[in-house]
Amino acid sequence: MSRFWSPIVHTLSPYVAGEQPQISGLVKLNTNESPYGPSPHATAAIAAANGDALRLYPEPTGIHLRKAVAATYWLDAGEVFVGNGSDEVLAHVFQGLLNHELPLLYPDITYSFYPTYCRLYGIKSVLVPLDEGFEIRLEDYRQPCGAIIIANPNAPTGIAKPLDWIEALVAEHPDQVVVIDEAYVDFGAETAIPLVKKYPNLLVVHTLSKSRGLAGLRVGFAVGQRHLIDALERVKDSFNSYPLDRLAQAGAVAAWQDKEWFERHRDMIIATRERLTVALQGLGFEVLPSAANFVFARHPGHPGGELAAALRAKAILVRHFNKPRISDFLRISIGTDAETDKLLTALGEILG
Ligand SMILES: *Cc1c(COP(=O)(O)O)cnc(C)c1O
């Protein structure tokens, strides 16, 4: 606290990211990074972009990346917005599209950056409880609202909704923007991007941090009709004209275009997830059905906080949320097969 702070700073409750400790030999399964890293084409493109040209500002709109993403979905580059990680894209979405007279609706258990943005921008919101099975129910969103945001698959549950469910949600709210945060969609859900042509109220947000192995490069994007993208561009150009630097733009385009690398490593992560799920069940865990690059699991005999601490003592980091309804759970990112074996061995020892 300081008397020099602007009044709003006193009211903020900043997002708490998973820790990034600098400990060698650590098995790091706490922030849903890819265990495999980016395409070698991406690192080569970044190396090639590293040079004298760095004295020049980058292209301000990320046009090459926007074109590459648009081409994948048969869209126009004007229907794609790019930003410095999808967190920045989401920040502009909250400020530019989700702040209305009526409240924003989102699930009580979801990405914890959403309430953080609501505080930052003074957005009224109503948290809609997930049902007992941690599912989002369509009927619960049939209430007056200014906008809706949902992560699909949801985080930290990992549970995905099918595309016809998403379409029903979007179709039921023609006068509200519906944002689908698809940070984990590549690991087992179906993207809503093809619905963008049909629904002027749909915005879909993606990141290259998870399935493209580029959390360190900070690249995300949003897809929607022109009028929604225009709002994001207006906010962006009132904030930072050059959100994606030259290295990020070069690396992101190359990563996006390396379909073979992307699919191979995505499939490896899905296979490891399925193996981990079965093994955790064998150790007595209840594991929610995951369509993401993590699992959300609880053990009937051991609270989540206790297990997370015991794993940490064995140099294995997982995420525990000390929050109502989910404090029994661990969120475990999918690592390599070797990391998964270390995790399972450690859990076997801890559970005796
Ligand atoms: C990881 C994550 C993001 C943010 O990703 P960036 O690294 O900022 O691109 C957004 N939404 C959800 C649900 C996430 O889990």
Residue for token digits 């993606």?
A: 206
Give the residue, out of 15, 30, 33, 87, with the most ligand 1 atoms within 8 A of its beta carbon, to mutate for a pocket test: 87
User: DSSP character for 19?
Assistant: P
Mutation pick for ligand 1 pocket among 16, 209, 211, 333 (CB with most ligand atoms within 8 Å): 209
For residue 205, the CA-to-ligand 1 centroid distance in Å is 9
Which of the four pLDDT bands, split at 50, 70 and 90, describes residue 25? confident
**Which pLDDT value is given to residue 187?**
98
Q: What pLDDT digit, counting tens, does each position of 64-94 carry?
A: 999 999 999 999 999 999 999 999 999 999 9
Ligand 1 atom nearest the C-alpha of 86 is: 9
- Closest of 185, 149, 153, 193 to residue 169, by C-alpha: 149
The domains of the chain, with CATH numbers, are 2-37+260-351 (3.90.1150.10), 40-257 (3.40.640.10)
Segment 288-304 mean pLDDT? 97
Cβ atoms of residues 307 and 284 within 8 Å: no
Q: How confident is the model at residue 19 (pLDDT cuts 50, 70, 90)?
A: confident
**Which residue has its alpha carbon closest to ligand 1 atom 1?**
183
Q: Give residue 24's pLDDT.
A: 79
Ligand 1 atom nearest the C-alpha of 31 is 1
Residues enclosing ligand 1, CB less than 6 A?
Answer: 85-87, 111, 151, 155, 181, 183, 207, 209, 215, 220
Question: How many other CB atoms sit within 10 Å of the CB of residue 308?
Answer: 22
Residue 98 burial (CB count, 10 A)? 27
Q: Give which of 343, 238, 227, 263 is closest to 295, Cα–Cα.
A: 343
Least confidently predicted of 16-20, 282-286, 326-330, 340-344:
16-20
pLDDT tens readout for residues 242-279: 999 999 999 999 999 999 999 999 999 999 999 999 99
Within 13 Å and on the Cβ side, how many CA atoms surround 269?
A: 31
Give the Cα separation of 102 and 147 in Å (integer): 8
Mean pLDDT over residues 127-137, rounded?
97
DSSP secondary structure letter of residue 139: G
Q: pLDDT at position 164, please?
A: 98
Angstrom distance (rounded) from CA 294 to CA 273: 7
CA 258-259-261 angle, to 5 degrees, is 70
Could you give the CA distance from residue 323 to residue 1 in angstroms, rounded to a whole number? 25
- Any long-range contacts for 198-201 (C-beta under 8 Å, 24+ apart)? 199/167, 199/170, 199/171, 199/174, 200/225, 200/227, 200/228, 201/170, 201/173, 201/174, 201/175, 201/176, 201/177
Q: Which of 297, 248, 210, 204 is nearest to 64 (CA)?
A: 248
Q: Residue 274 and residue 126: Cα distance in Å, rounded?
A: 35
The tokens of 65 are what?
């990346």
Q: Percentage of residues in the chain with pLDDT exceeding 90?
A: 95
Question: pLDDT-derived band of residue 301, with 50, 70 and 90 as boundaries?
Answer: very high
- Residues 162-221 pLDDT 10s: 999 999 999 999 999 999 999 999 999 999 999 999 999 999 999 999 999 999 999 999
pLDDT score at 202: 98
Q: Which pLDDT score, from 0 to 100, does residue 93 have?
A: 98
**What percent of the chain has pLDDT above 70?**
100
Closest CA to 190 of 208, 165, 209: 165
> Mean pLDDT, to the nearest integer, of 332-350?
97
Distance 104 CA to ligand 1 centre (A): 19
Instruction: Look at ligand 1, atom 15, and give the residue with the nearest C-alpha.
Output: 183
Determine if the peptide bond prior to 60 is cis (ω within 30°): no
Q: What is the pLDDT of residue 305?
A: 95
How far apart (Å, rounded) are the C-alpha atoms in residues 133 and 138? 14
Is the per-residue pLDDT at 313 higher than 80? yes
- Determine how many CB atoms are found less than 10 A away from the CB of residue 23: 9
pLDDT at 22: 77
Q: Are 181 and 151 in contact (CB under 8 A)?
A: yes
Please identify, by atom number, the ligand 1 atom nearest to the C-alpha of residue 209: 7
Residue nearest ligand 1's atom 2 by CA: 183
> Structure tokens of 225?
């009709």
What is the structure's pLDDT at 99?
98
